[in-house]
Amino acid sequence: MNNTGKVTLVGAGPGDPELLTVKAVKAIQAATVLLVDDLVSADIVALAPATARIVYVGKRGGCKSTPQAFIEKLMLMAAREGENVVRLKGGDPFIFGRGGEEVEHLQAAGIEVQVINGITAGLAAVTSLGVPLTHRQHAHGVVFVTGHAKPGDAGTDWRALAETAFKAKLTLVIYMGVSGASRIQDELLVGLPSTTPVAVIQNASLPTQRHITTTLGRLSGAIEASGLASPSVIVVGDVISGVVAAAEHPAQFRAA
């Protein structure tokens, strides 16, 4: 008889528990073991059964984190013990959440894996400001990109991306980019005007959310002056010009 358990990678979204999908809530409530990322809110963890074993495996950009290999080992061990394992990840497991690596590792070991999507922080962040990521007049597409490269990796070619974004009218959503904002700004200015609107949103969807709006030419200075830090999302593009319009009519918009 095969007593092997299963693993479900659950996207916990940006933090607000009301933004969880119904499927995510059901998975959390059925878990016997939860491996929880650092950015998952306590209100979401509270949805787990009182009998569930909760293991915090904090992963936050710029801070000391639990090694990825150790997290994968924990998931594998628990599943082989017959547990119903939920890997609770901030945002979406497949958008800068290393979900792809975890699925590959577990499938190679013969473990059943399911993935439940969550609302990614980049989407929740701009929605909270009352603007879209795409707009027929301002943006024909959107690029999600990380500002944090793997050690030994050259990372994103920001100059090439800027040129493409300018020609194709794309919104850039930059995750984990605050610590490298000065370098990113300098590289993007090669292909984008200094007047390009930018928003930086910290703790999207949470009561502690803060944001600033500025221009690409003033980005690094504005971040320093505001004190915004990780976790923050940087959104670059003409859609951000709509933030001003939303601010002028606050009663007409409220993020759900």
Instruction: Tell me the per-residue pLDDT of 50-73, one tens digit each, with 9 for 90 and over.
Output: 999 999 997 555 455 678 899 999
Give me the domains of the chain, ranges plus CATH numbers: 6-116 (3.40.1010.10), 121-252 (3.30.950.10)
Query: Can you give the length of the chain in residues?
Result: 256
Is 138 within 8 Å of 236 (Cβ atoms)? no
Active site residues: 37, 59, 176
Residues 16-44 have a mean pLDDT of: 96
> CA-CA distances (angstroms) from residue 59 to 35, 91, 126, 206?
11, 13, 23, 18
Is 235 within 8 Å of 243 (Cβ atoms)? no
Between vectors from CA 202 to CA 200 and to CA 208, what angle results, nearest 5°? 140
Residues 42-54 have a mean pLDDT of: 97
- CA 202 vs. chain centroid, Å, equals 11
Tell whether pTM > 0.85: yes
Identify which has the larger pLDDT, 242 or 5.
5
pLDDT at res. 97: 87
pLDDT at res. 3: 74
Give me the half-sphere count of Cα atoms (radius 13 Å) on the Cβ side of residue 202.
12
Is 220 within 8 Å of 181 (Cβ atoms)? yes
Residues 194-200 have a mean pLDDT of: 96
pLDDT tens digits along 127-174: 999 999 999 999 999 999 999 877 777 789 999 999 999 999 999 999
pLDDT tens digits along 207-230: 999 999 999 999 999 999 999 999
pLDDT at res. 254: 54
